[in-house]
Chain A
Amino acid sequence: MKHWVRLASHFYPASWRRRYAVEFDALLDEVDTGWRDVFDTLRGALTMQFTSWNLKTVLLASGVTGAAIAAAVAFGIPSQYQSTSVMQITTAGPAHADAQSEVNKHMNQMEQEILSRTSLARLIAKFGLYKGRRGKVPIEDIIQDMRNHQITIKPVKDRDNRQDLQRAFTISYTGADPILAQAVTRELVTKFIEQNVAAQRGGGVGMVEHLEVLDPASQPMQPIYPLPGRFAFAGLCAGLLAGLTVAFASRWRISIVRRPAH
């Protein structure tokens, strides 16, 4: 164990080692050491390093350490890929409030049906999704997770702010496998088309005429999460902040201790 303590003492600043290394070694020859002493020496060495550095060195070291840790964490998190498709609903009649309300109502009905428990449970079974989680987590939780995080349906913003007869929206699915993400998105698009056809046959679509696919399900090339660059930047900021806090706290502590006794 003395070997580890001696090894830890090498982390002290060079000036400290020049001054105290010989007597520190002599002390180690006399005491029984354990792991506590290894950590104690390491802590002492790092504290001394930190207090002997200037602010620029402290910030540089803490920033680089923060960025490196965050990047390592990012590489450890499983990648998530997102596939997106764009669809468009067209109404038959003139663009007025009734037509918009008809489109919204029809969209909500289709969404509800596609995101229903039965529909999503079929999707899970068909593509063998969440195999690892299915045995551990209730299917209801998985389905809720799909609705809240994995599947996204949102309208495409009308850049010209036109009140016309069309409404475009995107459907996305996010998963760990890019090919599977694309297949699931494609299946969701098919479900929308099937729902629309069934509604048209049933005569319940009012002024809604067409539902067409503008962009088929995209093939994800890059993960959307985690992005190591963003993680590293966040780690850099956190490291700089921590370094700044510790530097000021330790300087403040030293100045308090150095205050002359009355």
Chain B
Amino acid sequence: MTDPTLLVLASLADGDKHGYAMMADIQLFAGVRLGPGTLYGAIARLEERGWIRPVAAEDRRQPYTITALGRRHLEAQVSSLNAVVKAAQRRLKHA
């Protein structure tokens, strides 16, 4: 899974984060380093769709939180990915 929007949503699923925190978190749980352009492209798209929103910032770093809509989208994507993973695992066992 390397879709930046899903990675950002997954990162925000366990709490609010600013850009650098998301980047570090994604690298940790997915092993993918998002470049600054890719990260902010994803943030802009997610905010535009109402899946994330900015929260109060204490400094220049802007934290974001996942919205209910974003959470539903993430859940739908994860269950769809789960189905693919289970099917693949089943087929690999029988192969």
Contacts and interface: CB of A to CB of B under 8 A. Distances in A.
B89 interface: no
B20 A31 contact: yes
Interface in A1-60: 5, 8-9, 16, 19-20, 22-28, 30-31, 33, 36-37, 39-45, 47-48
A125 interface: no
Contacts of A256: none
B60 A23 contact: yes
B82 interface: no
Nearest to B23: A31
Classify the secondary structure of B's interface with A: helix
Interface in B37-95: 37-41, 43-45, 49, 57, 59-62, 72-73, 76-77
A44 B76 contact: no
A262 interface: yes
A28 B76 contact: no
Contact of B37 (A25, A30, A45, A257): A45
A44 B37 contact: yes
Nearest to A25: B60
A225 B80 CA distance: 57
B46 to A, nearest CB: 10
A27 B57 CA distance: 14
A5 B35 CA distance: 10
Contact of A42 (B23, B37, B60): B37
Given A23-B61, A43-B37, A44-B37, A30 B44 contact: no
Nearest to A16: B44
Contacts of A16: 44
Contact of A40 (B35, B62, B73): B35
A261 B76 contact: yes
A162 interface: no
A27 B23 contact: yes
The 5 A-B residue pairs with the shortest CB-CB distance, nearest first, are A44-B37, A40-B35, A41-B37, A26-B60, A261-B76
15 contacts: A20-B43, A23-B61, A23-B62, A24-B40, A26-B18, A26-B20, A26-B61, A27-B39, A31-B23, A37-B37, A40-B37, A40-B38, A44-B35, A44-B36, A258-B49
Interface of B: 5, 18-20, 23, 35-41, 43-45, 49, 57, 59-62, 72-73, 76-77
